[in-house]
Amino acid sequence: MRQVREIMRLSLEAGLSTRVVGERVGIGPTTVRDTLKRFGRAGLVWPVPEAISDAELEQLLYGVPGVKPGRRKVAEPDWPVIARE
């Protein structure tokens, strides 16, 4: 599970850089920046209310698990059939 609350706490409360936050949490600085951007786009403010669970917070930032957003609206062709033709 992502450590969104810890990333936000270290970044916003402690004022640490993305590199240092990444080192402490065990992720890359790019992932820290992405999490901060998603947090801002979600319209959330720090501190996040305790009523919001970690799963709900993760869903607000990253969407529904298992659903891949994208531009593809049409199913891919059946490639094995095409290869046999």
Domain layout of the chain by residue ranges? 1-85
Q: What is the pLDDT of residue 37?
A: 94
| Chain centroid offset of residue 41 CA | 11
Q: What is the DSSP letter of 30?
A: H
Model pLDDT for residues 30-85, shown as the tens digit of each residue: 999 999 999 999 898 988 888 999 889 988 898 876 666 666 667 778 889 999 98
pLDDT of residue 71: 64
> Taking the model in full, what pTM does it have?
0.71
Residue 1: what pLDDT? 54
Looking up tokens 């094995």, which residue turns up?
A: 80
Average pLDDT, stretch 19-23? Answer: 96
CB-neighbour burial class of residue 19 (10 A; exposed 0-12, middle 13-18, buried 19+) = exposed
